[in-house]
Amino acid sequence: MDAARFSEWFDRYGEAWRTYDRDAISDLFTNDAVYTANPFAEPVVGRQAIVEDWRETFEEDPDEQFEFKHEVVAVDGDLAVVQGWITYTAGSNTDDWRNLFIIRLDDDGRCREYLEWYFRRPRS
């Protein structure tokens, strides 16, 4: 796999986040995917469980607006390290975040393993 394949996945990830659409979220993951929101979190296993966890954990905010950018830092076969930048510009959250993702994709471009570290910019 190449960096473009992982970048495509993150484009879809950003759009799923923006639309909060069940099908868009579901389409990101394999049936048996393992989703770990941070290194200390209990993994969520399975596509449907991930969709439900995502929708329960992150409340939909119709006023939310954000900019999401990413850069694929390294690729080794089906594994990638990706840096992300998320800036919320409207809604209940107006923070600035930096993320580091480690993901593994299957041959169809769906995520099998997901691990994230996220950091909010300290407030002055």
Q: What is the DSSP letter of 64?
A: -
Q: Which domains does the chain have, with CATH numbers?
A: 3-120 (3.10.450.50)
**C-alpha torsion angle, residues 26, 24, 69, 96 (rounded to 10):** -80
Alpha-carbon distances of 27 from 2, 95, 96, rounded to whole Å: 20, 27, 27
Give the per-residue pLDDT at 122: 80
State residue 6 phi and psi, 5-degree precision.
-70, -40
Tens digit of pLDDT at every position of the chain (124 positions): 899 999 999 999 999 988 888 999 999 999 999 999 999 999 999 999 999 998 887 666 566 677 889 999 999 999 999 999 988 776 566 678 899 999 999 999 999 999 999 888 887 6
- Which helix H or strand E contains 21, and what residues bound it? none
pLDDT at 34: 98
Burial class (CB in 10 A: 0-12, 13-18, 19+), 119: exposed
